[in-house]
Amino acid sequence: MSDRNVSLSSALKYKGQGPYLTFILHRIGGSMIAIFVTLHILGTFFEMIGWQIGDLITDIYISPPFQIVFMFGMLFHIINGMRITILDLFPTKLIPYHRQAIVIEWIIFILVYGFAVVTTITTTIARMS
Amino acid sequence: MQTKARTLPLSKRGMSFETFMWLFTRLSALAMYGFIFIGIVGALIMGAQNDMSFVEVLRWALMPNTGHVNYTNVPDLSPYATMFWRSVASLFFFTAIAHGVHGVVVILDDYFATEIQRKWIRIINISLFVIITPIGLYVIWFG
């Protein structure tokens, strides 16, 4: 068993560069997904059996501000995970280029996330009328 | 030195539980990209380009459950509620929850290092897994 014991606050203060940022964002995104999915399943189930708390959870989850924040964690986890998987499938060939891979990853992330944010806002406006 | 360790063949390294889960995390991620792809292609075949926005297709692709199409302009939800889509959703759900339960344990292990804390992390996670899985399947099949 490892004796590594780092508090979350010192982990966040660590002045790592690009690779560390993707590492910690991957963890934060993964934790967000785990909490979200658990509460979302429970919320939908409570709605089905007629408990008020279910409506409250769904109302929060369907609100655009929540979706915009959550999508950051979710899409980052998905796109960063794709980079990790591709690099780990071909380690000898691709690991030497891991910094370039992170740059490509950020470009893809910004494009997809930006488009998702814009359509979240435009869809909300369109559905209101 | 590090490069050497990385390219050591699996037969020499041995397959521990941790190595197996390391591999499983990557393979389950690949499988989930497959499910997302099926969801996007399926939605487009069912006419999503006219009735759904990009985020709505994304939401459907990330869990192909009819509830995720409820608030869109799709006039008829029945193609989205077939046995096929419920099965894809169930398989996706199993893969995601297995990937996630291990992931959460790995994260928490870095911040809680004593034997007793790690034991509780496992007990709580596995209990949640046992409770959430049937509820999730109920929502997918009867929602």
Q: What is the ipTM of this complex?
A: 0.86
Within a domain: A32: yes
Predicted pLDDT at B1: 43
For chain A, how many structural domains are there in total? 1
Does B116 reach chain A within 8 Å, measured CB to CB?
no
- The range of the structural domain enclosing residue A33 comes to 17-128
Within a domain: A12: no
Within a domain: A8: no
State whether B55 and A123 contact (CB < 8 Å). Answer: yes
Question: Which residues in chain A have Cβ-Cβ distances shorter than 8 Å to B6?
Answer: 91-92, 95
State whether A33 and B58 contact (CB < 8 Å). Answer: no
Does B130 reach chain A within 8 Å, measured CB to CB?
no
Predicted pLDDT at A95: 82
Would you say residue A129 has pLDDT above 80?
A: no
Token reading at A26: 């991957």
CATH of the domain at A32: 1.20.1300.10
Torsion of CA A101, A102, A108, A110, to 10 degrees: -170
Within a domain: A117: yes
Within a domain: A4: no
State whether B139 and A120 contact (CB < 8 Å). Answer: no
Token reading at A9: 């606050």
Q: What is the Cα–Cα distance from A43 to A52, expressed in whole angstroms?
A: 9
How do the domains of chain B map onto residue ranges? 16-142
DSSP reduced 3-state for B9: coil
Q: Which of B3, B53, B132 sits opposite A119 (nearest CB)?
A: B53
Q: Which of A41, A44, A116 sits opposite B58 (nearest CB)?
A: A116
Of the ranges A122-126, B3-7, B8-12, B113-117, which one carries the lowest mean pLDDT score? B3-7
CA distance B90 to chain A (A): 13
Question: Which residues in chain A have Cβ-Cβ distances shorter than 8 Å to B109?
Answer: 2
Within a domain: A26: yes
pLDDT digits (tens, 9 = 90+) for B22-80: 999 999 999 999 999 999 999 999 988 888 888 889 999 999 998 888 888 888 888 88
Within a domain: A2: no
Predicted pLDDT at A1: 46
pLDDT digits (tens, 9 = 90+) for A7-55: 767 766 766 677 888 888 999 999 999 999 999 999 999 999 999 999 9
| Per-position DSSP letters for B120-141, written without gaps between them | HHHHHHHHHHHHHHHHHHHHHH
CA distance A103 to chain B (A): 21
